[in-house]
Amino acid sequence: MIFSSVTFLYYFLPAFLICYFATPTVRAKNFVLLAFSLVFYAWGGLANLLILGISMVGNYGLALFIDARSPRWRLRALGLAITINIAGLVVFKYAGFLAENLNAVIAPLGLAVPVVHLPLPLGISFFTFHAISYLVDVYRSRVRANRRLEEIAVYITMFPQLVAGPIVRYSTIAHRIRARRTTPGRISAGLRIFVIGLSWKVLIADEVAPLASVVFDQTAAPGFFAAWIGVLAYALQIYFDFGGYSNMAIGLALAMGLKFPRNFRMPYGSRSITDFWRRWHMSLSSWFRDYVYIPLGGNRHGHLHTALNLWTVFLLCGLWHGASWTFVIWGAHHGAFLVLERTAFGRALARAPRVVANGYTLLVVLTGWVWFRANDLDQAHGLFAGLAGLNGFGTFSPGLLQALQPLTITMMILGWPLAMFGLPLPPRGLVSDRLRLKAYAWGDSVAVLALFVLCVITVGAAAYSPFLYFRF
């Protein structure tokens, strides 16, 4: 089940909101949220639900185990708990990839190991990271291990963020799980954010997606213009798809009285790759910073050690997204430029005109998306050849011409300024700030209502379109 589906919008969400707000106490609301979250997750398969249940109960017990240890043994207990969580992630997500690469190494010896690709449980990367953040917060004594199993279950399984984030730290939400209140203002603001996210997904991401699909999946050697159209379309698709999902999750949480962290802040308007990672998938980048980069030593032990730490973090970040060398190279790609920006190049970039800095950042990000989206290394090489003009300029394929519909072109044209700069406020000077903001609020309300109606109509008529980050 996805947020932008008839099942969710027409049936699941209304039923949940009625049951949730009709329930009088916070603890009862937690049980309602837990029940609906388990139904939401089970929609993707009962086998997924079994794995999620093992993770919930197991990490509930592991946190109690860590909390009961003396200071001398807490670190070892944490190490055991994290190892168990990572082992589950490795088995389901990386076992086949590791076996394939091991076979490539030992093939000259006439040896081979079985290659098994297990079905990937929905959202396993996200709920594993949620569990690890809870365990580390308990170890660091930021929170006590919670003895209410249903509250830990709610934290791990909350359906708004269960399968694609944002990654929510337990220490930042623990008090709201047990004591929260909803107000008409929060409900209104939350639903407004949800509608904006829904419109990002349905009206922009899904509209430009065919361009990326045709170029990446149906064109063997795209020419210069076709390759750039495909990469630009994919950059918009992944931002408005994942950013739209994050906004929907944040909005639903706010309506329930919870607070999720912001996950995107106009990343394509960044002036460096360092700045980009402060704005893109902010909950993931801050998770790696606090739970990997800083424990490795951060930037406290000289330039070489800092560079190694950055590379380690982004290689892991690439692997976290998928068991493929294309993701590893994507992580190395970003890590290399982050290291470069800690040299004199970074200082020169900070003094460069904005258009130059932004152009550099977009070029790095867009070429990185080639590795991220390509199905294999050969396809990535073909796309890079097209971007460089080595495949010729050529005519567009019939599939690409068919995908270049007027509405798709319009979304491409409107999407990039929105992704880079957001929506502007009404101009100053014409009216007072109070009237200006009031007019903006009324206009915003009308626009949000119109967007919701348009999204509902579009969802009812559109084909199934899953969120991109469900695959991770």
Residue 118 forms part of a structural domain: yes
Query: At a CB cut-off of 8 Å and minimum separation 6, what does 244 contact?
Result: 197, 198, 199, 200, 201, 202, 204, 205
Torsion of Cα atoms, 213 then 218 then 221 then 227, to 10°: -20
Domain that holds residue 88: 6-180
Same-domain check for residues 118 and 210: no
Same-domain check for residues 391 and 368: yes
Among 210, 235, 237, CA closest to 397 = 210
| Residues noted as catalytic | 321
Give one DSSP letter per residue of 309-378, joined into a string.
HHHHHHHHHHHHH-SSHHHHHHHHHHHHHHHHTTSHHHHHHHHS-HHHHHHHHHHHHHHHHHHHH-SSHH
Same-domain check for residues 102 and 33: yes
Q: What is the pLDDT along the chain (472 residues), one digit of tens a residue?
A: 788 888 888 899 999 999 999 999 989 999 999 999 999 888 877 778 888 899 999 999 999 999 988 888 899 999 999 999 999 999 999 998 899 889 888 988 888 888 888 888 888 888 899 999 999 999 988 888 989 999 999 999 888 888 777 888 888 888 888 888 888 888 888 989 999 999 999 999 999 999 999 999 887 788 899 999 999 999 999 999 999 999 999 999 999 988 898 899 999 999 999 999 999 999 999 999 999 988 888 888 778 888 899 999 999 999 998 889 999 999 999 999 999 999 889 899 999 999 999 999 999 999 999 999 998 899 999 999 999 988 888 777 788 888 888 999 999 999 999 999 887 655 555 444 554 445 445 556 778 888 888 888 888 776 666 666 666 6
- How many Å apart are CA 289 and CA 296, to the nearest integer? 10
Same-domain check for residues 304 and 192: yes
- How many Å apart are CA 85 and CA 168, to the nearest integer? 17
- How many Å apart are CA 255 and CA 243, to the nearest integer? 18
The last residue of one of the domains, among 164, 180, 196, is 180
Torsion of Cα atoms, 441 then 447 then 450 then 455, to 10°: -120
Same-domain check for residues 352 and 292: yes
Residue 90 forms part of a structural domain: yes
The last residue of one of the domains, among 139, 159, 180, is 180
Same-domain check for residues 131 and 229: no
Query: At a CB cut-off of 8 Å and minimum separation 6, what does 300 contact?
Result: none
Same-domain check for residues 143 and 252: no
The last residue of one of the domains, among 153, 180, 207, is 180
Rounded to the nearest 10 degrees, what angle do helices 184-199 and 433-461 cross at? 60
- How many Å apart are CA 321 and CA 129, to the nearest integer? 12
Q: pTM of the prediction? A: 0.90
Same-domain check for residues 283 and 366: yes
Same-domain check for residues 284 and 409: yes
